[in-house]
Structure 1
Amino acid sequence: MPDTGETRFNDVIRGDISFRNDLMDDYILLKSDGFPTYHLANIVDDHLMQTTHVIRGEEWLSSTPKHVLLYRAFAWQEPQFIHLPLLLNTDRSKLSKRQGDVTVEEYLRLGYFPEAIINFVALLGWNPGTEQEIFSLEDLVKEFSFERINKSGAVFDIAKLNWLNKYYINNSDKRWSTVKDPLVEKIKKTLELRNIVVKDIDLTVSAIEQRLTGPNELIKILDTEFIFLPQKNSDGSVKKLNYPKELLIWKKMSDEEELKISLDEIFKILSDIPEGVWASQVEQILLTEAANKGDRGMLLWPLRVALSGQKVSPGPADIAKILGKEETLERVKDAIDKI
Structure 2
Amino acid sequence: MTVRVRVAPSPTGDPHVGTAYVALFNRTWARRNGGQFLLRIEDTDRVRSNAESEKMIFESLRWLGLTWDEGPDIGGPCGPYRQSERVAIYLEHAKSLVASGAAYYCTCTAERLEGVRKAQDAAKLSPRYDRRCRDLPASEVQKQIDAGAKWVIRMKVPAEGECRFRDVVRGEVVFAWDQIDDQVLLKSDGWPTYHLANVVDDRLMGITHVIRAEEWISSTPKHIRLYEAFGWTPPVWCHVPLLRNKDRSKISKRKNPTSLNWYRDQGYLPEAMVNFLALMGFSMPGGVEVFGPADMDREFSIEKINAGGPVFDLQKLDWMNGQYLRKLSPDELATRLGPFGAAGHDAATVRRIVPLIQDRLRVLSDWTELTAFFFGDLAAPDPALLAGKKQTPAQVRDLLSRARPVLAAAEWTDAALEASLREVAAAAGVKPGDLFMPLRVAVTGRTNTPPLTATLEVLGRDRSLARVDAALACLA
TM-score range, shorter chain: 0.7 to 0.9
Counterpart residue number, 2:373? 228
Deviations 1:272-316 (A, max 9, x none): 2224xx245323543565467452233212212211234344443
Counterpart residue number, 2:452? 316
Query: Alignment partner for residue 2 of structure 1, among 158, 169, 173?
Result: 158
Query: Alignment partner for residue 387 of structure 2, among 249, 257, 260?
Result: 249
Counterpart residue number, 1:260? 397
In structure 2, do the counterparts of structure 1 residues 16 and 301 end up closer, same or farther at CA, with 3 Å as the change threshold? same
How far residue 132 of structure 1 moved from its aligned partner, in angstroms, is: 0.3
Query: Alignment partner for residue 43 of structure 1, among 199, 209, 224?
Result: 199
Counterpart residue number, 1:207? 356
Letter in 2 for 1:282: L
d(CA) in 1 for partners of 2:456, 2:470: 15
Deviations 1:1-24 (A, max 9, x none): 112211100111011101011222
Letter in 1 for 2:167: D
Letter in 1 for 2:203: H
User: Is 2:286 the counterpart of 1:137?
Assistant: no
d(CA) in 1 for partners of 2:222, 2:392: 82
How far residue 170 of structure 1 moved from its aligned partner, in angstroms, is: 1.6
In structure 2, do the counterparts of structure 1 residues 316 and 199 end up closer, same or farther at CA, with 3 Å as the change threshold? farther
Letter in 1 for 2:461: K
1:142 partner SS: helix
User: Is 2:282 the counterpart of 1:282?
Assistant: no
User: Is 2:265 the counterpart of 1:127?
Assistant: no
Aligned length: 316
Counterpart residue number, 1:236? none
1:207 partner SS: helix
d(CA) in 1 for partners of 2:184, 2:301: 36
Per the normalisation by structure 2, the TM-score is 0.59
d(CA) in 2 for partners of 1:179, 1:245: 36
d(CA) in 2 for partners of 1:145, 1:284: 57
User: Is 2:301 the counterpart of 1:152?
Assistant: no
Letter in 2 for 1:187: G
Counterpart residue number, 2:408? 271
d(CA) in 2 for partners of 1:281, 1:9: 73
d(CA) in 2 for partners of 1:172, 1:310: 27
1:94 partner SS: coil
Query: Alignment partner for residue 25 of structure 1, among 172, 181, 185?
Result: 181
Contact 1:12–1:82 under 8 Å retained in 2: yes
CA RMSD of aligned residues (A): 2.9
In structure 2, do the counterparts of structure 1 residues 164 and 286 end up closer, same or farther at CA, with 3 Å as the change threshold? farther
User: Is 2:466 the counterpart of 1:330?
Assistant: yes
How far residue 106 of structure 1 moved from its aligned partner, in angstroms, is: 3.6
Contact 1:90–1:156 under 8 Å retained in 2: yes
Q: Which runs of 5+ in 1 are unaligned?
A: 232-238
In structure 2, do the counterparts of structure 1 residues 230 and 215 end up closer, same or farther at CA, with 3 Å as the change threshold? closer
Contact 1:113–1:165 under 8 Å retained in 2: yes
User: Which protein has the larger Cα radius of gyration, Structure 1 or Structure 2?
Assistant: 2
d(CA) in 2 for partners of 1:160, 1:229: 30
d(CA) in 2 for partners of 1:32, 1:127: 46
How far residue 49 of structure 1 moved from its aligned partner, in angstroms, is: 1.2
How far residue 252 of structure 1 moved from its aligned partner, in angstroms, is: 4.8
Counterpart residue number, 1:182? 336
Deviations 1:86-127 (A, max 9, x none): 112233332234445323344233322221111111111221
d(CA) in 2 for partners of 1:142, 1:198: 39
Q: Which runs of 5+ in 2 are unaligned?
A: 1-156
Per the normalisation by structure 1, the TM-score is 0.81
Contact 1:184–1:209 under 8 Å retained in 2: no
In structure 2, do the counterparts of structure 1 residues 77 and 300 end up closer, same or farther at CA, with 3 Å as the change threshold? same
